[in-house]
Each structure stands twice: as C-alpha cells, then as structure tokens.
Chain A
Amino acid sequence: SYELTQPLSVSVALGQTARITCGGNNIGNKNVHWYQQKPGQAPVLVIYRDTNRPSGIPERFSGSNSGNTATLTISRAQVGDEADYYCQVWDSSTAGVFGGGTKLTVL
C-alpha cells in the first residue's frame, strides 16, 4: 500500500514562510492535494493537483511536487493559519491515502 510521510509539527515566525513536506515513493508522478483542518472543524481543501488553489484560498498558499516530496508553502504566515495540514493522493489499490498530518504553529 502507498504511504505518505509528513512531519508531526512545523513552527514558523509570524510573517515568515512555512513549508510542510509530504514524502512518498515517486510522489512526483501523482496528483497531490492539501487540506487545512482547524480544531473542531471539517478539513478544507487548500491546494489540489499539486499547485492549484480553490477559489477563496489566499495566494499565500502554494504547492509543488517533484521526485519523492511534495511541499505546501504558506507565505507571510498568519496566526489564522495555525491548523493541522494533510496531504492526500489517490491510489486505486487503497482508495484515497492521507498523510499523517502536520501541526503548524505560528510563533
């Protein structure tokens, strides 16, 4: 089965750039999607197909994917960006696969 690896936590200073990674075998050959989940709320799609932002998601959120690592980048981090972030890919043998999630803290 396909596995995705994320760091448990990432910290970033207010106004700086946060990068959250998602590792997987040849993940660059897959479409990676990213979700933001705040406590007590359902997840929200922030990036789909590696680099695309849904309407309503700030331009500060961007994504990239190459080789064995996909990355979610949050520029000019704000306190409101504090949340858990999950990467996801589709694998026909396992339905959908999520990474374990990364807790983002803005200092």
Chain B
Amino acid sequence: QLQLQESGPGLVKPSETMSLTCTVSGGSISSSSYYWAWIRQPPGKGLECIGSLSYSGSTYYNPSLKSRVTISVDTSKNHFSLKLSSVTAADTAVYYCARQADFYYYIDVWGKGTTVTVSS
C-alpha cells in the first residue's frame, strides 16, 4: 500500500525559503501513470493546489505561486520536494504531498500533512 510522508521544518522565518520533502513508500515514484503533487491548507480555510510534476519532469504550477515555487523529484531516494521562496505569514498552512493520477488528475493518495508556520 502506497504511503506518503511529509518532512521538514515546522517554523520558517519571513522572507526565507521553506523546504519540504515527501518520502514515498510502498511503491515507486518512477511510475508513468502518476503525478506527484503539493497541496496546502491555511488554518480554517480550504485546499489550494501548489503544483505537481511527473517523474519525467513535466510540471504544473499554480500561477499565483509559480514565481516562488520549485517542485523536484529524486528517483534514487524515491522522494519529491517542495521549495517555496520569500515566505510570508500568508504561507502558514498545513502542507500535504499527494499522488495525482495522470490525465484525469484526481488525487488518490494523500500524506498526513505537516504544519508550517511562518513567523519571526
């Protein structure tokens, strides 16, 4: 059974770059049938797609975040990563990594989420 686990700092200072990693277990990140995605949820608010990529390198980013976001994959470690630069308090959220089906783009496997707080 595929499982995803987010990891990274829970506290980031304003203007810095936050980095999160999602480790995939129980399956290979190199599958051509899936994209690997990041979604976030600010406290008390709804879900927001950050972006996704395939193991071959195809990427999609939310236009509102595109200038600050980098998503990358490391097939040797079976994990993928999120970098978000120039963070502000508005980036405080629970960050989920997820598996997204290719072509139809529904999310069928989610990590448990990790809380990132932006504060000095």
Residues on A lying within 8 angstroms of B by beta carbon are 1, 31, 33, 35, 37, 42-45, 48-49, 54, 86, 88, 90, 92-101
Bound state CA distance, A45 and B107, in angstroms?
7
Q: Which residues of A contact B101 (CB under 8 A)?
A: 48
Given contacts A35-B107, A42-B113, A48-B104, contact A95 B96 (CB under 8 A): no
Bound state CA distance, A95 and B71, in angstroms?
13
Q: Are A90 and B37 in contact (CB under 8 A)?
A: no
Q: Which of B12-20, B21-29, B44-52, B72-80 contacts A (4 or more CB under 8 A)?
A: B44-52
Residue of B nearest to A47 (CB): B106
B112 proximal to A (CB < 8 A): yes
Bound state CA distance, A89 and B39, in angstroms?
14
B62 proximal to A (CB < 8 A): yes
Q: Which residues of B contact A92 (CB under 8 A)?
A: 60
Q: Which residues of B contact A45 (CB under 8 A)?
A: 106-108
Jot down 25 A-B pairs with beta carbons below 8 A, ordered by A: A33-B106, A35-B47, A42-B111, A43-B96, A43-B110, A44-B110, A45-B108, A48-B108, A49-B104, A54-B108, A88-B107, A90-B105, A95-B49, A95-B50, A95-B60, A95-B62, A96-B37, A96-B39, A96-B52, A96-B60, A96-B100, A96-B105, A97-B49, A98-B46, A98-B48
